Structure 1
Amino acid sequence: MMATQAMTDPAMDLHPDRYFNRELSWLAFNRRVLEEALNPAHPALERMRFLSISGSNLDEFFMVRVAGLKGQQLQSVEERSPDGLTVTQQLAAISEEADRLFAAQRAAFKQIAAELDQAGIRVLGADDISDDDAPALEQYFREQLFPILTPQALDPAHPFPFIPNKGLAIILDLCRLSDGEPIRELVMVPASIPRFVRLGTVDDARFVAVETLLKRFTPMLFPGYQVNGSGTFRVIRDSDIELEEEAEDLVDFFRTAIKRRRRGRVIRLEIEAGIPAELEELVRDTLGSDDMLSGEDGGFVGIADLAQIVEEDRPDLKFVPFSPRFPERIREHGGDCFAAISAKDIVVHHPYEAFDVVLSFLRQAATDPDVVAIKQTLYRAGKQSAVIRALIDAAEAGKSVTAVVELKARFDEEQNLLWAAQLERAGVQVIYGFTQWKTHAKVSMVVRREAGGYRTYCHFGTGNYHPVTARVYTDISFFTADPRAGRDAAQLFNYVTGYVEPSGLELISMSPHGMRTRLCELIDIEIGHARAGKAGNIWAKLNSLTDTLIIDKLYEASMAGVAIDLIVRGICCLKPGVPGLSETIRVKSVVGRFLEHSRIFAFGDGKPLPHDGAKVFISSADWMGRNFDRRVEYMMPVLNPTVHDQLLDQVMVANLIDNEQSWELMPDGQYLRADPGTRPFNLHRYFMTNPSLSGRGQALRDSDAVPTLRLVQRD
């Protein structure tokens, strides 16, 4: 095969200078998120939201990625990353860049807080609490906090207590006034209480951090003692679950592992600046300073918790509310999803079009007496999941319902266990998939009895069956009644539920069985066109690009003259624009109001993109080794002309011409924000104000046409 031959070409041997470091590329992405917190085009509370997200992102990065590297370091693993760095070198570089990010977060917090102060939302420090506010805060402390606080002395009889993951605590040096006896105390901030106490009115809101409140009313908690010093600190622990392949019962294993995760090794320690040296030394020594990264925080400890302030009811300080559309095509069929899908394939573009379409599809399946079976993958479904309710209703109505619940969906394991138990009680056949692989494909299939036999209706998604994230993630829902898609979906489910190897797939490609090979074949075709003097053209939109085999194939394509445009939101290990290697490759990242999450791939097949004959695919998979080798994924060709046009001429072109939320990756790894110049274009604004092609149906012909987007071709 062409793909195999290319991979054995000596000229394509791996070299460290061909790739960016994965971890540093992720930190660069989080830097772009943080930059949105400083973007004056965003309202103040939305900027605070971006700041909070950057903090939450960093927490998870340390809990998983840094924890994994730290574990390798402790086990003296010598393996180098593709860019040639040892584990120790990566950790040193991560620590340096993360410290810069933490410093930038603190600076952003001060700037946004000052702006919010002018708008009537104040975050009060200890010195900012007025005499007027003190009585209300004292009442809150006495009635709400005091009963649940448990101060603990630190002495030989009372060892340093366990601090859970993301646990916040205050350590104090006290002196007993009666006899001058010194004592050290520790107060854990209960995770169940809000991080901030809110005072004031709608137009004059004042927030006091709970640790500020505790320090102010320390005399009530420790009567008869004088405070000589105190400090706040926060702990981040290893929270990744390493699956034991010999686990006999996957459910029991995860129930135990979730509990064990809360006690993982300390990875990062955040300490309030100005803490007395003796207290800092005690905290570091007790928590294990040899194995953790740490830093002093001169501002607010735990940036992620600022999300509470973002929930303030101030529409004037947030994005203008947006209500997603419900596709007219389904309304034209009286709300009958099956009738609409039977007539023609349909794409729903979230969040611009409502996730309610997916729920309506499942609810109709649950109540339709002609539906005999439903099969559904569940990776993340959220806490209040209407999807789960529909599956339960279907099972209770006597239908055959199968749910593939992925227990290895990171940080959703506990919720997925709860859903699985509810589904099983209702009579749903629950499958937990593979021990070593994650079932990451987002697929739903409904088998319906119709005239002439049974017909299968399918939903293929690029996102999760999660009603909340569907409001802020841009994703694609593709509905089809194509019999080939139905047969392929059945094979995918049989593979996960019964280990039946797929064979003779008619439309989809699957991981871990051949998706990388199929992509390499598609790239090879473009290489062939370019070498034959025709146009070689590739567009791809994805979240991450780390797989060295795919990167090397893209380098080979670039050296052959293929024009490649990549929209990679997060991690990108490919180096674009390098002379003699990747001169024809451009990489951009879009970060804005919505999280770009859809995966769409397009191949010109001998002509410049976009054009009607281009090969267009949607997928659940990013171009990462884990997606090709350790996950069950799908890649689906889009054949319907209207859907094809929507994805290629609308979604992809809009992403490529966006210049208000875009960053371009330079050959040296730096990202430069696009300059809108005199023709600004915001892809999120465009889709909020212009309907999609696929979902409009007759309404598209009865109204003004959707504005045509035009892409200026590169030289």
Structure 2
Amino acid sequence: MTGPDDTDTVPESTPDLSDPEFYLNRELSHLEFQRRVLHEALDERTPLLERVRFLGLFTKNLDEFFMKRVGGLKQQIDAGVTDPTVDGRTPREQWAEILQMTRPLFDRQTDCYRETIRPALAAAGIEIVDHDDLTAAERDRMRDYFEESVLPTLTPLAFDPAHPFPFISNLSLSIGAYVRHESGADPTFTRVKIPQNRPRLVPVTDGTRYLLLEDLICAHLDLLMPNVEIVDTATFRITRNAEVRNDQEVAEDLIKAIEKVIEQRRFATAVRLEIDADAPPAMVDLLREQLDLDPEEVFHRSGPLDYRDLTTLTDLNRPDLTRDSWSPLPHPRFEDGASADASLTGSDLFDTIAADDVLLHHPYHSFEGTVQRFLDAAANDPDVLAIKAAIYRTASDSQVIQRLIDAADNGKQVAVMVELKARFDERNNLQWVRKLEEHGIHVAYGTVGLKTHTKTALVVREEDDGVSLYSHIATGNYHSETAKGYVDLGLLTADRDIGQDLVTVFNFFTGPSLDEEFRKLLVAPVTMRERFTDLIRREADHARDGRPARIVAKMNALEDPDIVAELYRASMAGVDIDLIVRDICRLRPGIEGVSDTVDVYSVVGRFLEHSRIFYFENGARASDPDADRSPEYYLGSADWMTRNLDHRVEAVTPVDDPDLREQLRFILEVVRNDNRTCWTMNADGSYDQRTPGDEPSRATQSVLMDAVRAAHDRDDDRGLDTEHPASPGDLLIGDD
């Protein structure tokens, strides 16, 4: 393995790539992505209810960021860690910069809601009103609703000499109240938790006027706490650290270890306090003291402290305020009898896959009509001998799990790898483990020291000419709900070498060790880093020798310093590099003499970009007759992050079928030609959004929806109409 200080393969005049100036900070880069998410709420071109959805998404994302990343930094600070990251920042410096950077982002979110979104909703006939704005009749109606439906659910928790400070759960919304029991007495603090099982948006009139639940409760505290004086109130919300660690290296029972982590997370240290901007200073000081928070960890906010529940407005029947709906389409290769009917036998489906590989593209292609149908057929086909699957996340009512159970009940050999360490899905996955084991299915829980992040399934089938292997290698989880909102790719193939590689991977989950040799798959943590490094260096060699050299990589995050250094060296050798990175990117593009040939893009649209595609030109255009050098394409579960390459089990597969390569080429070039939802990264880590100007608007996800719809209408069995132009005359990959 090479690192940023490895200069053996470059001239002595090469810049010192260990210099922190060449690496952006991971956490601050992630916050730049969240700035782009928030921009969707600010952008007037985004339909109004979609803007509301992005306000809620920004809250959700920042909640997770504080729980995971800020929580982890606080642990390092408390442990006395002072070692800097590759960008030169210590944990404390990162923590301070994060708090400095997020404060104006939260202010921007609040201003967006108060000054733009809320007035625009009112103009469209959807009002979120204050209690003081209600008519007398509306106040009476709200008081009746409070007494009947809300008051019985509330529990005031006092803090005084007779009562300890109440436990405040993570991300719960609370009202803090100072109350005085008798004239002249000092006020005492009481906490009231906003119930999560009551609608946050309380309808004042049917479908047109709403009151926030916390405002309703604040207005009626006299009914909850009679015979006391309500001196002052404020709404507040705390965030707790989710980076609770357990020594799983020595845990004899991983299930018990994970259950302990879940329990400890409830009581973890606080990392953030959000509170009303006009909260009494005494209440802020009290909460800070009891929660052991630094003054910098307090965020004073004007307006709602949690925008997630506002996304329920997107369920309103207001097509004038939303995007045109999109329903995933069946893949043409599976369209005959494509209903996900468990009674279907698999012969036709498996014959289809055996004839040619199939590229699935969600949410453009239906998950139920493709992946789910693949598993349905496997569970019910009498010729299927065994099914193996790796589950990282899945839906709470997962039909994927049910089909695996059906398969076991039908006498198939079923083995399932369920990753218990999938953060925030631990409890859900524990429940699935128990259900699978109740049906006699062999379940592996994970591997010591590694997370299993690969998204793979294998079907073993007895056929006339012997046993065949059918594989599914994907970029996304076996999760029917996220498949409707995440952009992901999957390959269905009967390639024997890929199937044998998956046999090896699944044997690792239940066996003692991971093989270090694979026929085709790139598998982390054993072969993937080395192979990607070799592919990048090969492009550099081609460039030095005057042959075509290009890398196009689409992923969620580019964080690994060693890979960044390799890309810098490739750029210095003359390789043309396009990086489509949704989120974190440590690499700085456009640095003179270091990354002149590198461009970095990010797409933020109605769906979350989650697919990973890797293209290496390999010294030859697609039309080059030299068969020894043809471009190579890969897809799979891994980002170019240290955790993916070294600390997770991942699988990336080559894509050899010419038609499927053409589809991947088309997808990459659609992004390259996006002038509406694509952002271009600057060397300082900031981003500029492209605008169409006088040209027609070309938004990546809209173009791909059109291309899949066109393929469906034409019954194009590729599933993607690649003749649909991304931009006339500007499809660069593979062109002479």
TM-score, with normalisation over the residues of structure 2?
0.93
Give the drift of 1:89. 1.1
Identity %: 40
Give the drift of 1:316. 2.5
Amino acid at match of 2:636: S
Counterpart CA distance in 1 for 2:279 and 2:622 is 59
Match of 2:227 in 1: 224
Counterpart CA distance in 1 for 2:721 and 2:61 is 42
Alignment of 1:711 with 2:730, yes or no, is yes
How do 1:464-543 and structure 2 match up within 5 A?
464-543=477-556
Counterpart CA distance in 1 for 2:422 and 2:709 is 31
Match of 1:630 in 2: 647
Match of 1:302 in 2: 306
Counterpart CA distance in 2 for 1:182 and 1:632 is 56
Counterpart CA distance in 1 for 2:491 and 2:482 is 17
Give the drift of 1:200. 2.0
Amino acid at match of 1:69: L
Moved more, 282-291 or 520-529: 282-291
Match of 2:704 in 1: 687
Give the drift of 1:188. 1.8
Q: Is the 8 A contact 1:347 1:694 kept in 2?
A: no
Match of 1:138 in 2: 143
Alignment of 1:58 with 2:71, yes or no, is no
Counterpart CA distance in 1 for 2:261 and 2:719 is 57
Q: Is the 8 A contact 2:599 2:681 kept in 1?
A: yes
Amino acid at match of 1:153: A
Alignment of 1:15 with 2:19, yes or no, is yes
Match of 1:661 in 2: 677
Alignment of 1:211 with 2:214, yes or no, is yes
Alignment of 1:248 with 2:252, yes or no, is yes
Unaligned runs of 5+ in 2: 340-347
Amino acid at match of 1:48: V
Give the drift of 1:517. 0.9
CA RMSD in angstroms, aligned pairs only:
2.4
Counterpart CA distance in 2 for 1:99 and 1:702 is 45
CA offsets, 1:199-219, max 9 Å, x none?
A: 3224x2x22222101110111
Match of 1:676 in 2: 692
Amino acid at match of 2:140: P
Q: Is the 8 A contact 2:238 2:274 kept in 1?
A: yes
How do 1:236-315 and structure 2 match up within 5 A?
236-244=239-247, 245-290=249-294, 293-315=297-319
Alignment of 1:191 with 2:196, yes or no, is yes
Give the drift of 1:609. 7.4
Moved more, 545-554 or 602-611: 602-611
Counterpart CA distance in 1 for 2:595 and 2:184 is 75
CA offsets, 1:405-445, max 9 Å, x none?
A: 00111100100000111111112111012121110000000
CA offsets, 1:654-711, max 9 Å, x none?
A: 1111110011000121100112122221111111122289989964699998424443
Moved more, 248-257 or 166-175: 166-175
Counterpart CA distance in 2 for 1:690 and 1:29 is 27
Alignment of 1:149 with 2:154, yes or no, is yes
Q: Is the 8 A contact 1:328 1:696 kept in 2?
A: no
Q: Is the 8 A contact 2:554 2:579 kept in 1?
A: yes
The SS at the match of 1:132 is helix
How do 1:349-364 and structure 2 match up within 5 A?
349-356=361-368, 357-364=370-377
Match of 2:343 in 1: none
Counterpart CA distance in 2 for 1:109 and 1:480 is 48
Amino acid at match of 2:708: P
Counterpart CA distance in 2 for 1:589 and 1:207 is 36
Alignment of 1:129 with 2:134, yes or no, is yes
The SS at the match of 1:241 is coil
Counterpart CA distance in 1 for 2:718 and 2:498 is 29
Residues 698 and 53 (structure 1), Cα distance of their counterparts in 2 relative to 1, 3 Å cut: closer
CA offsets, 1:241-269, max 9 Å, x none?
A: 32312111000111121011011100000
How do 1:341-356 and structure 2 match up within 5 A?
341-356=353-368
Counterpart CA distance in 2 for 1:352 and 1:611 is 32
Give the drift of 1:607. 3.4
Match of 2:350 in 1: 338
Counterpart CA distance in 2 for 1:195 and 1:582 is 49
Counterpart CA distance in 2 for 1:388 and 1:182 is 55
Match of 1:86 in 2: 90
Match of 2:668 in 1: 652
Of residues 300, 324, 330, the one that matches 2:328 is 324
Of residues 659, 663, 677, the one that matches 1:642 is 659
Amino acid at match of 1:518: R
Amino acid at match of 1:636: T
The SS at the match of 2:18 is coil
Counterpart CA distance in 2 for 1:341 and 1:181 is 76
Q: Is the 8 A contact 2:391 2:477 kept in 1?
A: yes
Counterpart CA distance in 1 for 2:290 and 2:84 is 32
Q: Is the 8 A contact 2:711 2:720 kept in 1?
A: no
Amino acid at match of 2:170: N
Moved more, 129-138 or 432-441: 129-138
Give the drift of 1:126. 2.9
Unaligned runs of 5+ in 1: none
Counterpart CA distance in 2 for 1:242 and 1:337 is 44
Amino acid at match of 2:663: Q
Counterpart CA distance in 2 for 1:315 and 1:26 is 33
Of residues 162, 167, 172, the one that matches 1:167 is 172
Amino acid at match of 1:447: V
Moved more, 2-11 or 464-473: 2-11
CA offsets, 1:50-93, max 9 Å, x none?
A: 11101110000000100000111111101101110111111111
Q: Is the 8 A contact 1:663 1:672 kept in 2?
A: yes
Counterpart CA distance in 2 for 1:152 and 1:472 is 40
Q: Is the 8 A contact 2:2 2:562 kept in 1?
A: no
Counterpart CA distance in 2 for 1:303 and 1:651 is 33
Residues 85 and 5 (structure 1), Cα distance of their counterparts in 2 relative to 1, 3 Å cut: closer
Q: Is the 8 A contact 1:237 1:266 kept in 2?
A: yes
Alignment of 1:442 with 2:423, yes or no, is no
Give the drift of 1:193. 3.0
Match of 2:439 in 1: 426
Residues 305 and 397 (structure 1), Cα distance of their counterparts in 2 relative to 1, 3 Å cut: same
Match of 2:344 in 1: none
The SS at the match of 1:326 is coil
Counterpart CA distance in 2 for 1:230 and 1:698 is 63
Counterpart CA distance in 2 for 1:374 and 1:178 is 73
Moved more, 610-619 or 68-77: 610-619
Give the drift of 1:477. 1.3
Residues 72 and 178 (structure 1), Cα distance of their counterparts in 2 relative to 1, 3 Å cut: closer
Moved more, 574-583 or 179-188: 179-188
How do 1:602-641 and structure 2 match up within 5 A?
602-607=615-620, 613-641=630-658
The SS at the match of 2:406 is helix
Q: Is the 8 A contact 2:385 2:461 kept in 1?
A: yes
CA offsets, 1:587-624, max 9 Å, x none?
A: 01000111111000001111357989310000200000
